[in-house]
Amino acid sequence: MHSGPGPSAGSAREPGSGTGTGKRARLVDIAAQAGVSEATVSRVLNGRPGVSAPTVQAVLTALDVLGYERPTRLRQRSAGLVGLVVPELDNPIFPAFAQVIETTCGQHGYTPVLCTQTPGGVGEDEYVEMLLDRGVSGIIFVSGLHADVSTDTSRYQKLTGRGLPVVFVNGYVSSVEAPFVSTDDTVATELAIHHLASLGHRRIGFASGPDRYVPARRKLAAFRACLDEPALQSNGVTGIVEQSLFSVEGGHAAAVRLFDEGVTGVVCGSDLMALGAIRAARQRGLDVPGDISVVGYDDSPLIAFTDPPLTSVRQPVHAMGLAAVRALIDEINGHGAPRAEYLFRPELVVRGSTGPARPR
């Protein structure tokens, strides 16, 4: 959650402006953020008349953005806030989701509060408590704990039980009554395998993250089912699985083991893993795609500009982000979005990291 500037000796403090806040609000900072005068900020914070509703909302939003708590008597006006919880920003697919969701929220008059988890930092549960304290109208979770089958799902049942609208992206929990928006992992895996098989690859590796995550588990099941297809079996297509971490280092480690098993094509669980696989190939003196073909997953921003440009299965981020926001707003407005999982079809984007298998 964004933290604003801390208190200082030069902080301006109007009578009553700190009521209900955890630190002194610098009027100059709030005014600059809201695009209004310091006098206007003072009038809003002290509940004085003569300020238009849009200006009041601009000042309150500035407080939120800068990390200040709203004065207690103004918190009931925070109905326009929604929480957005993402696991990290290092993987470019998560900023992509965040951008679409934030933009769409803004177009509907809602201010998103972005909460990013970091190793050793604030966790999802702590962020949820902060968001509840802010009086958010709802929360969108992107690849959160709901995607981990080992997690206790009662945390989400408590949220829905208190009537808080929630929407989940990529990860499904059957026991939670809420809308879920996911990429179709089965289709994604089939697209990658059939692409490699059509290029003549007969020994295909699957580099994925831990199978405690719903998307990884679904991709793994699809990988095994796809290799059982009669058409692939008749062509001698076989596969091997290596599970690691969803990172460049994880992809590198998994690829090294797959190369030892003689694979010529590698399907990866993320673009970052695919970059690790390409690095592992080069360290062995293998050419991509001459010796090894690599397929990523996500088609995250800038991945088309890697060397070589990465073939990847694209998540429909824009459509999914729009659907998640619309479902949340329907929930907020009492329309009740259907409690189900909506699967969005991915797209294979073929670039330079895949090519025909060399005869062996």
DSSP symbols for 61-121: HHHHHHTPPPPGGGGGGGGGEEEEEES-SSSTHHHHHHHHHHHHHHHTT-EEEEEE--TTS
User: CA–CA separation, 315 vs 83, rounded Å?
Assistant: 22
Tell me, yes or no, whether 96 and 57 share the same domain: no
pLDDT digits (tens, 9 = 90+) for 195-246: 999 999 999 999 999 999 999 999 999 999 999 999 999 999 999 999 999 9
Do residues 212 and 308 share a domain?
Answer: yes
- pLDDT of 103 higher than 80: yes
Token pair, residue 357, equals 């298998």
**353 belongs to a structural domain:** no
Q: What percent of the chain has pLDDT over 70?
A: 91
Q: Is position 288 within any domain?
A: yes
| Average pLDDT of the segment spanning 99-118 | 90
CB 147 within 8 A of CB 170: yes
Strands (E), the chain: 81-86, 111-116, 139-142, 166-169, 180-183, 203-208, 238-243, 265-268, 293-298, 311-314, 341-344, 347-349
* Of residues 73 and 205, more confidently modeled: 205
What pLDDT is recorded for position 17? 39
pLDDT of residue 9: 30
Structural domain includes residue 246: yes
Domain count, the chain: 3
**Interval 128-153 mean pLDDT:** 93
Instruction: Assess whether 333 and 247 both reside in one domain.
Output: no
In a domain, 359, yes or no: no
The yes-or-no verdict on residue 113 having pLDDT over 70 is yes
- Whether 89 and 170 map to the same domain: the answer is yes
Q: Which domain holds residue 13?
A: 1-70
The whole-number pLDDT of residue 75 equals 56
Q: Which two tokens stand for residue 135?
A: 């009086």
Other Cβ atoms less than 10 A from the Cβ of 207: the count is: 30
pLDDT tens-place string over residues 305-345? 999 999 999 999 999 999 999 999 999 888 877 789 999 99
Three-state SS for 241? strand
- Coil vs helix vs strand at 240: strand
Q: Where is average pLDDT lowest: 39-53, 130-144, 154-168, 260-274? A: 39-53
Strands 311-314 and 347-349: antiparallel
Instruction: Supply the mean pLDDT for the chain.
Output: 88
In eight-state DSSP terms, residue 236 is: T
